[in-house]
Amino acid sequence: MIYLDNHATTRVAPEVLAAMLPYFTEEYGNAASVNHAFGWRAAEVVERAREQVARLLSCPAEWIVFTSGATEANNLAIKGGLSGTALAAGRTRARKTTPAASAVPLTNFVTNAAEHPSVLDVAKRFKRQGVGVTILPVDHHACVDPQQIADAITPQTQLVSVMLANNEVGTINPLAEIGRICRERGVLLHCDAVQAIGKITVDLQQLPVDLLSLSAHKFHGPKGVGALVVRRDGPRIPLEPLFDGGGHEQHLRSGTLPVPLIVGFGVACELATDQYDGKLGGLTSPARLADLRDRLWQRLQSELERLSLNGPPLSERLPNNLNFSVAGVDGEALMSSLKEIAVSSGSACSTAEPEPSHVLRAMGVSDSLSRASLRFGLSRFTTEAEIDVAVAEVVRVVRRLQA
Asked if 325 contacts 393 with a C-beta cutoff of 8 angstroms, the reply is no
Query: Using CA atoms, how far apart are residues 354 and 400, in angstroms rounded to an integer?
Result: 24
Q: Does the CA dihedral 145-133-176-379 come out positive or negative?
A: negative
Give the residue, chosen from 43, 65, 69, 397, that forms a contact with ligand PMP under the rule CB under 6 A. Answer: 69
Interface stretch with ligand PMP, choices 81-89, 147-155, 191-199, 256-264 (CB under 6 A): 191-199
Question: Within 342-361, which residues bind ligand PMP (CB under 6 A)?
Answer: 349
Query: Using CA atoms, how far apart are residues 99 and 93, in angstroms rounded to an integer?
Result: 8
| Max Cα–Cα distance, the chain, nearest Å | 73
Amino acid identity at 28: Y
Instruction: Give the nearest distance from C-beta 99 to ligand PMP in angstroms.
Output: 39
Instruction: Give the nearest distance from C-beta 214 to ligand PMP in angstroms.
Output: 8
Q: Does 116 bind ligand PMP (CB under 6 A)?
A: yes
Interface stretch with ligand PMP, choices 64-72, 150-158, 197-205, 291-299 (CB under 6 A): 64-72
Q: Does 304 bind ligand PMP (CB under 6 A)?
A: no
CA 73 → CA 7, 80, 142, 190, distances in Å?
Answer: 18, 10, 23, 10
Among residues 194 and 365, whose Cβ is nearest to ligand PMP?
Answer: 194
Position of minimal CB gap to ligand PMP: 69
Q: Does 319 bind ligand PMP (CB under 6 A)?
A: no
Chain centroid, CA 3 distance in Å: 20
Among residues 238 and 253, whose Cβ is nearest to ligand PMP?
Answer: 253
Question: Within 210-239, which residues bind ligand PMP (CB under 6 A)?
Answer: 215, 226
Q: Reply yes or no on whether 349 is catalytic.
A: yes
Query: Using CA atoms, how far apart are residues 401 and 403, in angstroms rounded to an integer?
Result: 5
Angle (nearest 5°) at CA 379 between 224 and 202: 70
Pairs from 301-307 (Cβ < 8 Å, separation ≥ 24): 303/391, 303/395, 304/394, 304/395, 304/398, 304/399, 304/402, 305/402, 306/402
Give the residue, chosen from 42, 49, 57, 70, that forms a contact with ligand PMP under the rule CB under 6 A. Answer: 70
Give the residue, chosen from 195, 284, 310, 325, that forms a contact with ligand PMP under the rule CB under 6 A. Answer: 195
Among residues 116 and 317, whose Cβ is nearest to ligand PMP?
Answer: 116
CA 363 → CA 138, 302, 383, distances in Å?
Answer: 6, 26, 31
Instruction: Give the nearest distance from C-beta 71 to ligand PMP in angstroms.
Output: 3
Residues taking part in catalysis: 349
Query: Binding residues for ligand PMP, per CB under 6 A?
Result: 69-71, 116, 118, 163, 167, 192, 194-195, 215, 226, 349
